[in-house]
Structure 1
Amino acid sequence: MVNPTLRFRPLRPAVASDGVTDLDLLVTIACDDLPPEQQARPRPPLNLALVIDRSGSMSGRKLSYARKAARFLAGELTARDRLAIVSFDDKVRVVVPSTPVTDPKPFIAAIDMIHSGGSTALFDGWLAGALQVADHLDPSQLNRVLLLSDGQANAGLTDHQEIATKVAGLTARGISTSAFGLGDGFDEDLMGAMASAGDGTLAFIESPSQLADLYASELQGLASTVGNRVSIGVRAKNGARLLDVLNDLTTTQFGNYQLPNLRAGQELNVGLRLHLPAWQPNQEIASVRLAWDAPGNGGRQKQIAHLTLPVVASADLAGLEVDDGVVEQLALLEANRARRRAIEELDRGNLQAAHLCLNAASALFAAMPDSAVARRELQLLDEKKALLQEDRNLTRKRLSRESLRSSTRVWEESDEQE
């Protein structure tokens, strides 16, 4: 079993003894690569439901590629895995009930019979898929619904918050949801809310040809998952106050924060801002508690880390060097917030204000030392500023995808090239 490690990375490596300190820091959660003996083992069994929108807007190339990608998925699974195929327009059809994939041919034949129809009962389709997974729920397996839609929920339950609440309820039972939006007509707010509540992957697919890569990435991600239903709790101590969690994470019912799945060989960064009065040496500033479910292990895992820092005079603190890597990661989190503010201005019809929000984010990276991350982020922001005048809908979708990187597992096509 791969256990994550917790590391505190303060912007400056000390706090003040004779005045207040506003302490910015990262909590980095790192998972080592799987050891060779585990890499050689079969991945955990999968219990999946593929839910495909077959509404009228999916006709033609979109549905053709969706079928092709579904055939790929069926061909990659084994007899240890279960797969259900569900399609929906205004009505829901269980094309193939949850069945072990001893032979992909019956699945492929059924997939080929999916044709476009009418409206979009998105929630009903998702629910039918979730119930297929629930009927064979096994804590030792990875249990997930893969939802693909190109449209808006316009039949059945359509309220975003109610749908997200239903998704979160299934997540608490161990059934996660990945949401894949296709084209330029899908509801990015709803798909983002479902992926976040569902502890799964969010993908915005601009071309149907990307679907096969997406499904390959999803299977690889499931194979490398070492922790799901991940949460982090932050408790300030001795008069310190937690001012902000820069990732804008969803709060759990216990007052902790929901994180994306833990994957072998990857890191998660959580940005914190704390306010400290004059501090005493060796005094604990905060504790962080990480909790997760390890596939196949059966029990809730946890790890606790305690933060203390050296204490110096305020005048000396101001002269300490900052950690450039922390500056960079905190700037990414602030830039994602700026994107969300830009979306709010776009929704008000204020393009100038949206542009100013993106300019503010660009200024963060323009002032930083040159790095691959800073160059990439400046490029992304410049692209959105140029696109703003031409296609507000596409701009909003791309801003939404990028803004959610702080809190949700977001698929990008570049992930396949790493």
Structure 2
Amino acid sequence: MNPCLHFRPLRPAVASDGATTLDLLISVRSPERPAAISVQRPPLNLALVIDRSGSMAGSKLSHARKAARFLAGELTERDRLAIVTFDEEVTVLVPSQPVRDPLLFVSAINTITAGGCTALFDGWLAGATQVATQLYSQGLNRVLLLSDGKANEGLTDAAGIAAKVQGLTQRGISTSAFGLGRGFDEDLMGAVAAAGDGTLAQIESPHQLADLYASELQGLASTLGRKVSLGIRTRNGTELVDLLNDLPRTNVGNFQLPNLRYGQELNVGLRLQLPAWRPNQEIASVRLAWDSPEADGRQQRIETLTLPVLPQRDLEELESDLQVAEQLALLQANRQRRRAIEELDRGDLQSALASIEGIDMHLAGLPQSDAVQQERRLLAEKQALMQQDRNLSRKRLRRESLRSSLNVWEGRDDQA
């Protein structure tokens, strides 16, 4: 069973006698997991890379060890695991090997103690190298990077680190980035997760770590497509004006989507500009491509978009699809959070508060569905938090701004 592509225009037609601004939602719908494979997940080839710098001392490292022991206990001899730690130096505690005896990994994990600085890139590279030694062509290969700080040893530039991560993503090694506490660099960790085709998690309390690892394993077990791309080719003078998700580009210019998971729907919002249109003309073609753990070779699905043609006056009288309007507004709200982040970075609290208020005012004009009400609650929380803890509000805003671009773990914030 393969994912499906669906086109959902805000208005179900285009104009014959003038230009049309076409707002469109592309939905990628994955099937529910077949019962026959519910107990048989792809084998996993993982490297757990743990920051052991001085700031991890105490409860953070204690819970990191506990969560690492949990991870080792959940894997089987079909899976491989490596354990890597880093401060200013990198240590491969357990080289990549099948998890035949979890106690071997647990004993090594119990020896992890806090050290000095944060050579994040070197730690990640060592973990990726361990994964690369035994790539699973029919499994999932991933680095799980956990850090509570900023990269301050070796390569520290976020763009440079993300470029290295993306290079290995193209070879089939993905990376999830888990930021712990309130000192980690959320921009760097977000860039790593996006480039790594993995999960971004912001963990405000170390108590959340076990839940995070359980969620990550569940996500890996339910993955039906990785290295997912969306190619959009406009036709007959159509112009792609905007894509609301701010998706990263692949090396051939397509848009990179998060991994496909059973039972999941991904929505991509875009705006197209069309000249006066003739009936039966193709507006665009869309190609969804992915690698499947169950099949060799690149999988793909291609759909073309055509719409009815009406005079401009009749088109303007058509009602908008309220569900599409809601989804597009939620995608726009993710993006607009970046303006508030920029204003916080400039020290302009009042402008940041006004930006959040502007997002909320737009959402207030929509039907108040559960999704819209939840989004407005999140915005109200950020407004209150900005005046109490700007650092924490920035981290939460960054996490929420990335929800439409990659898999973001939504842990409860009230555990901090």
* TM beyond 0.5: yes
Alpha carbons 1:88, 1:122 under 8 Å: kept = yes
In 2, Cα distance between equivalents of 1:380 and 1:164 = 29
The residue identity in structure 1 corresponding to 2:13 is A
Q: Which residue of 1 aligns with 2:142?
A: 144
What displacement does 1:296 show?
A: 3.7
Aligned pairs (5 A) from 1:353-392: 353-392=351-390
Q: Which residue of 2 aligns with 1:204?
A: 202
Q: Which residue of 1 aligns with 2:9?
A: 10
What displacement does 1:18 show?
A: 1.1
Q: Which residue of 2 aligns with 1:19?
A: 18
The secondary structure found in structure 1 opposite 2:402 is: helix
The secondary structure found in structure 1 opposite 2:191 is: helix
What displacement does 1:35 show?
A: 1.2
Q: Is 1:246 paired with 2:251?
A: no
In 1, Cα distance between equivalents of 2:228 and 2:362 = 30
In 1, Cα distance between equivalents of 2:362 and 2:296 = 44
The secondary structure found in structure 2 opposite 1:373 is: helix
The residue identity in structure 1 corresponding to 2:14 is V
Question: Residue 314 of structure 2 is aligned with which of 294, 313, 316?
Answer: 316
TM-score normalised to structure 1 length: 0.98
Q: Which residue of 2 aligns with 1:284?
A: 282
Q: Is 1:61 paired with 2:40?
A: no
The secondary structure found in structure 2 opposite 1:413 is: coil
Could you report, residue by residue, the CA deviation over 1:26-72 in whole angstroms, capped at 9, with x for unpaired residues? 000000111111224x2110000000000000000000000000000
TM-score normalised to structure 2 length: 0.98
Q: Which residue of 2 aligns with 1:83?
A: 81
Alpha carbons 1:227, 1:292 under 8 Å: kept = yes
Q: Which residue of 2 aligns with 1:306?
A: 304
Q: Which residue of 1 aligns with 2:222?
A: 224
Q: Which residue of 2 aligns with 1:346?
A: 344
Q: Which residue of 1 aligns with 2:335?
A: 337
Q: Which consecutive unaligned segments of at least 5 residues does structure 2 have?
A: none
In 1, Cα distance between equivalents of 2:152 and 2:296 = 39
Alpha carbons 1:17, 1:312 under 8 Å: kept = yes
Could you report, residue by residue, the CA deviation over 1:146-182 in whole angstroms, capped at 9, with x for unpaired residues? 0000000001110111100000000000000000000
The count of corresponding residues between Structure 1 and Structure 2 is 413
Q: Which residue of 1 aligns with 2:213?
A: 215
What displacement does 1:325 show?
A: 1.0
The residue identity in structure 2 corresponding to 1:18 is D
What displacement does 1:270 show?
A: 0.5
What displacement does 1:392 show?
A: 0.8
Alpha carbons 1:10, 1:323 under 8 Å: kept = yes
Q: Which residue of 2 aligns with 1:135?
A: 133
In 2, Cα distance between equivalents of 1:351 and 1:295 = 47
Q: Which consecutive unaligned segments of at least 5 residues does structure 1 have?
A: none
Could you report, residue by residue, the CA deviation over 1:281-333 in whole angstroms, capped at 9, with x for unpaired residues? 11110110111111142211111110000111111111111111111110111
In 2, Cα distance between equivalents of 1:100 and 1:92 = 22
The residue identity in structure 1 corresponding to 2:5 is L
> What RMSD in Å do the two structures reach over aligned CA positions?
1.0
What displacement does 1:334 show?
A: 0.8
Q: Which residue of 1 aligns with 2:112?
A: 114
Could you report, residue by residue, the CA deviation over 1:366-398 in whole angstroms, capped at 9, with x for unpaired residues? 100111001000000011011111111001000
What displacement does 1:414 show?
A: 5.8
In 2, Cα distance between equivalents of 1:199 and 1:253 = 14
The secondary structure found in structure 2 opposite 1:405 is: coil
In 2, Cα distance between equivalents of 1:199 and 1:390 = 33
Q: Which residue of 1 aligns with 2:30?
A: 31
In 2, Cα distance between equivalents of 1:68 and 1:318 = 60
In 1, Cα distance between equivalents of 2:95 and 2:281 = 58
The secondary structure found in structure 1 opposite 2:341 is: helix
The secondary structure found in structure 1 opposite 2:216 is: helix
Could you report, residue by residue, the CA deviation over 1:337-394 in whole angstroms, capped at 9, with x for unpaired residues? 1101111111111112211211111112110011100100000001101111111100
Could you report, residue by residue, the CA deviation over 1:84-132 in whole angstroms, capped at 9, with x for unpaired residues? 0000101100011001001101101110100000000000000000000
Q: Which residue of 1 aligns with 2:267?
A: 269
In 1, Cα distance between equivalents of 2:246 and 2:382 = 22
Alpha carbons 1:21, 1:277 under 8 Å: kept = yes
In 2, Cα distance between equivalents of 1:139 and 1:407 = 26
Percent identity for Structure 1 against Structure 2: 68
The residue identity in structure 2 corresponding to 1:30 is R
In 2, Cα distance between equivalents of 1:295 and 1:174 = 11
In 2, Cα distance between equivalents of 1:58 and 1:325 = 45
Question: Residue 162 of structure 2 is aligned with which of 141, 161, 164?
Answer: 164
The residue identity in structure 1 corresponding to 2:320 is V
Alpha carbons 1:227, 1:293 under 8 Å: kept = yes
Alpha carbons 1:139, 1:296 under 8 Å: kept = no
In 1, Cα distance between equivalents of 2:373 and 2:322 = 15
In 1, Cα distance between equivalents of 2:203 and 2:50 = 14
